């Protein structure tokens, strides 16, 4: 690394995009020596974090998430906000990332002085990806970004990961034929704070309204995530800048309500606890792998698991019990 922690800290605080990118690369690194530096850096910037609104954006491939972020981001900038865009892509380690393609779709936003766009990490297992995205978000906050927009890519677990690190979860829906709700996992409906039906124009306005009715009916049976919050279903077009102002207003309304309900801070505390648990597991594993005396035992049990001599979970349990027994303090 060619930069000192002091230089990186100063760079972040002055919102220097080049140093911001370097700092993010550092927290994304899996190398233990980089991790030590990353911890130092995070300690320095922590007092300057926490002030942004963290927004997750999900939706089926092609729903218009990137287009939405581009134009919503520009709208937020026009209202005096600084906007950072991150993407979480659990599949990118296999596909080598589809995000660079997305970046070009955010051309206009990328030109803005007050925007920062960061592609997702290209490696790491699921929990790890969410974790580096969380730390990247802290770095962006310390750099003074007011809105952090996180695009989920693909389907599956990425929604859960993003909702685990955000304050607001937005679902972009497109009008489909037939049964509108088919293909929407119940899990997603339970996570959303706001639904935006995208690609609505004059020709499909009626269909969009039907979709809205069906969504609202489905939402009616859902357990409400936030007290006194009825998930709004909005209609618009990300491409033509229609309905984005309303999204902005609803996000502000939700944040105010969460602050009033005291759930805003509580939610973030819960999220930090999850991050803590993640790191407990990660560091135990790292330390185990680094300790010479443990390597044989670790290798032995891992091999048993890989050969399916016993259930991997049982094998891990035996190993962890050994670990704690060997500790003279226990
Ligand atoms: N007509 C119309 N097209 C739109 C609208 N929003 C997005 N699109 C188009 O839909 C296509 C997909 O948009 P993206 O923003 O790339 O969608 P995405 O959800 O980010 O896609 P992935 O990241 O690949 O999952 C592009 O060709 C957009 O121009 C809209 O409001 N109206
Ligand atoms: Mg996209």
Examine the pLDDT at 18 and tell me if it is beyond 70: yes
Which residue(s) pair with 147 in the sheet? 53, 83
Mean residue pLDDT across the chain: 87
Q: What local confidence, expressed as pLDDT, does residue 103 receive?
A: 47
Percentage helix, strand, coil for the chain under 3-state DSSP, each rounded to 5? 55, 10, 30
d(CA 295, CA 310) in angstroms, rounded, equals 19
> What spacing in Å lies between the alpha carbon of 67 and ligand 1's midpoint?
6
Asked whether 138 and 118 are in contact (CB, 8 A), the reply is no
The more confidently predicted of residues 127 and 40 is: 40
The listed range with the strongest mean pLDDT (57-66, 102-111, 300-309) is 300-309
pLDDT average, residue stretch 32-41: 92
Model pLDDT for residues 190-217, shown as the tens digit of each residue: 889 999 999 999 999 999 999 999 899 8
> What spacing in Å lies between the alpha carbon of 105 and ligand 2's midpoint?
8
Name the residue with tokens 């589809």: 98
Q: What local confidence, expressed as pLDDT, does residue 102 receive?
A: 47
What share of the chain in percent tops pLDDT 90? 60
Model pLDDT for residues 223-234, shown as the tens digit of each residue: 888 999 999 999
Model pLDDT for residues 128-174, shown as the tens digit of each residue: 566 788 899 999 999 999 999 998 875 566 777 888 899 999 999 99
Asked whether 208 and 184 are in contact (CB, 8 A), the reply is no
66-75, 103-112, 117-126: segment of lowest average pLDDT: 117-126
Confidence of residue 330 (pLDDT cuts 50, 70, 90): very low
Q: What local confidence, expressed as pLDDT, does residue 62 receive?
A: 86
Model pLDDT for residues 244-276, shown as the tens digit of each residue: 999 999 999 999 999 999 999 999 999 999 889
- In the chain, domain spans: 1-47, 49-263, 271-325
The more confidently predicted of residues 126 and 24 is: 24
Atom of ligand 1 nearest to the CA of 59: 19
Among 66, 87, 117, 236, name the best residue to mutate to test ligand 1's pocket (greatest count of ligand atoms within 8 A of Cβ).
Answer: 66
The CATH code of the domain at 49-263 is 3.40.50.300
Fold for 1-47, please state it. Answer: 1.20.5
Domains 1-47 and 49-263 share a fold: no
The more confidently predicted of residues 178 and 287 is: 287
Region for residue 86 given its phi and psi (left: phi exceeds 0; alpha: psi -120 to 50; beta: otherwise):
beta
Among 63, 64, 150, name the best residue to mutate to test ligand 1's pocket (greatest count of ligand atoms within 8 A of Cβ).
Answer: 64
The listed range with the strongest mean pLDDT (63-67, 155-159, 217-221, 326-330) is 63-67
The more confidently predicted of residues 144 and 294 is: 144
> What spacing in Å lies between the alpha carbon of 257 and ligand 2's midpoint?
29
Q: What local confidence, expressed as pLDDT, does residue 278 receive?
A: 85
> Which residue in 303, 325, 327 sits closest to 316, CA to CA?
303
pLDDT average, residue stretch 302-310: 93
Q: What local confidence, expressed as pLDDT, does residue 98 receive?
A: 47
Q: What local confidence, expressed as pLDDT, does residue 154 receive?
A: 58
The more confidently predicted of residues 90 and 231 is: 231
Q: What local confidence, expressed as pLDDT, does residue 94 receive?
A: 42
């Amino acid at each position: 690394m060619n930069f000192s922690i002091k230089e990186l800290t100063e760079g972040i605080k002055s919102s220097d995009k080049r140093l911001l990118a370097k700092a993010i690369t550092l927290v994304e690194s899996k190398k233990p020596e980089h991790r030590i530096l990353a911890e130092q850096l995070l300690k320095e910037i922590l007092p300057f974090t926490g002030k942004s609104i963290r927004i997750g954006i999900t939706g089926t491939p092609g729903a218009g998430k990137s287009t939405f972020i581009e134009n919503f981001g520009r709208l937020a900038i026009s209202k005096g906000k600084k906007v950072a865009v991150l993407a979480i892509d659990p599949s990118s380690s296999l596909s080598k990332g589809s995000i660079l393609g997305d970046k070009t779709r955010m051309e206009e936003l990328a030109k803005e002085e007050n925007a920062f766009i960061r592609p997702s990490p290209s490696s790491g297992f699921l929990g790890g990806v969410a974790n580096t995205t969380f730390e990247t978000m802290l770095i962006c906050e310390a750099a003074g970004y007011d809105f952090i927009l996180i695009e989920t890519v693909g389907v599956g677990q990425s929604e859960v990961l993003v909702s685990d690190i955000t304050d607001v979860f937005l679902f972009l829906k497109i009008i489909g034929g037939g049964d509108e709700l088919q293909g929407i996992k119940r899990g997603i409906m339970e996570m959303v704070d706001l639904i935006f039906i995208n690609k609505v124009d004059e020709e499909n306005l009626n269909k969009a309204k039907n979709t809205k009715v069906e969504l609202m009916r489905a939402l009616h049976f859902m357990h409400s995530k936030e007290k006194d919050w009825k998930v709004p279903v909005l209609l618009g077009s990300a491409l033509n800048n229609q309905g984005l102002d309303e999204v902005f207003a609803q996000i502000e309304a939700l944040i105010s309500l969460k602050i009033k309900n005291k759930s805003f801070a509580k939610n973030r505390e819960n999220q930090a606890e999850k991050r803590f648990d993640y790191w407990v597991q990660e560091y135990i594993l790292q330390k185990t792998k680094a300790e010479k005396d443990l390597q044989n035992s670790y290798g032995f049990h891992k091999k048993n698991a890989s050969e399916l001599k016993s259930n991997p979970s049982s094998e891990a349990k035996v190993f962890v019990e050994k670990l704690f027994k060997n500790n003279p303090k226990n």
